């Protein structure tokens, strides 16, 4: 074990940092775009199915095909990988935000309106806190997807733990494959646990008691 750490430890740390960097930016962009868009779609029912349908179609594009498609437009490296991973993160966050906001009991909206709240105040004060568990479930799912798919980003020179995995596969070095795979699994588990903790903190106390 000590020999394994001595040989691959430094590389594992460097590649893990690259992997986390790519994944975090892609997921962050996905949240910034998909959450507001999901909320907006609950107010625009005529186009909601179309927009979610487009996101669903993008999700079906094979990972390597999407990464290859990025090259003519953005070249190689981290930037095209982040764009591709951002696209993959959209659907689970968008869909869950839309469903979470849509499923808020209409009575809550009526009460907010009766209290003189504007539409925006109702969203942020009443509806969004109630929808938090559903939205966070989508974010957690997207996070696991992005971390897993980021391994393929090494094919376009983005770095990350995929470099170790595919180098091990190409050179028939099982220890190198393990050195790349284990951190990906641990990263996905830890991020999911942290987001689960954040979900608990963000969920209103009354809803936590009901659960």
Three-state secondary structure call for residue 157: coil
Contact 136, 202 (CB under 8 A): yes
Of the pLDDT bands very low, low, confident and very high (cuts 50, 70, 90), residue 82 is very high
Query: Is the CATH number of domain 12-210 1.10.3720.10?
Result: yes
pLDDT band at 58 (very low <50, low <70, confident <90, very high): confident
The model's confidence at residue 208, banded by pLDDT at 50, 70 and 90, is low
**Phi and psi angles of residue 169, each rounded to the nearest 5 degrees, phi first:** -65, -45
Summarize the confidence of residues 62-66 as an average pLDDT: 85
Q: What SS3 class is residue 206?
A: helix
Distance in angstroms (rounded) separating the CA atoms of residues 90 and 97: 11
- Asked which of 3-7, 67-71, 101-105 is least confident by mean pLDDT, the reply is 3-7
| pLDDT tens digits, one per residue of 158-204 | 889 999 999 888 888 888 889 889 999 999 999 999 999 998 888 87
Q: What pLDDT does 1 receive?
A: 65
Contact 143, 192 (CB under 8 A): yes
Q: Where do the domains of the chain lie? A: 12-210
User: For residue 27, what are its two tokens?
Assistant: 């997921």
**Separation CA 29–CA 89 (nearest Å):** 9
The residue with greater pLDDT, 210 or 89, is 89
pLDDT of residue 159: 86
Residue 205 has pLDDT above 80, yes or no: no
Q: What is the pLDDT of residue 110?
A: 77
- 3 state DSSP class of 23: helix
* Distance (Å, whole) CA 178 – CA 200: 33
Token pair listed for 14: 């460097």
pLDDT at 67 over 80: yes
Find all residues with CB under 8 Å of 128, minimum gap 6, and list them. Answer: 39, 101, 135
Q: What average pLDDT does range 123-132 have in this prediction? A: 88
Non-local CB neighbours of 164 within 8 Å, separated by 6+ positions: 8, 11, 12, 15, 176, 177, 179, 180
């Amino acid at each position: 074990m000590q020999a394994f750490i001595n040989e691959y430890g430094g590389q594992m740390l460097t590649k893990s940092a690259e992997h986390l960097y790519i994944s975090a930016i892609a997921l962050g962009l996905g949240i910034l775009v998909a959450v507001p868009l999901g909320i907006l779609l609950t107010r625009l029912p005529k186009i909601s199915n179309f927009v979610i349908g487009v996101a669903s179609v993008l999700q079906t594009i094979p990972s390597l095909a999407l990464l290859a498609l990025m090259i003519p437009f953005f070249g190689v490296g981290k930037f095209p990988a982040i764009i591709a991973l951002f696209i993959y993160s959209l659907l689970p966050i968008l869909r869950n935000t839309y469903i979470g906001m849509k499923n808020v009991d209409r009575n809550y909206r009526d009460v907010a309106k009766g209290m003189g709240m504007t539409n925006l105040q109702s969203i942020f004060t009443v509806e969004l806190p109630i929808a938090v568990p559903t939205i966070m479930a989508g974010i957690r799912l997207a996070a696991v997807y992005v971390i897993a798919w980021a391994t393929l980003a090494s094919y376009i020179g983005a770095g990350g733990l995929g470099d170790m995995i595919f180098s091990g596969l190409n050179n028939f070095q099982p220890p190198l494959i393990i050195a790349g795979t284990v951190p990906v699994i641990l990263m996905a588990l830890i991020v999911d646990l942290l987001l689960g903790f954040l979900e608990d903190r963000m969920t209103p106390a009354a809803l936590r008691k009901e659960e």
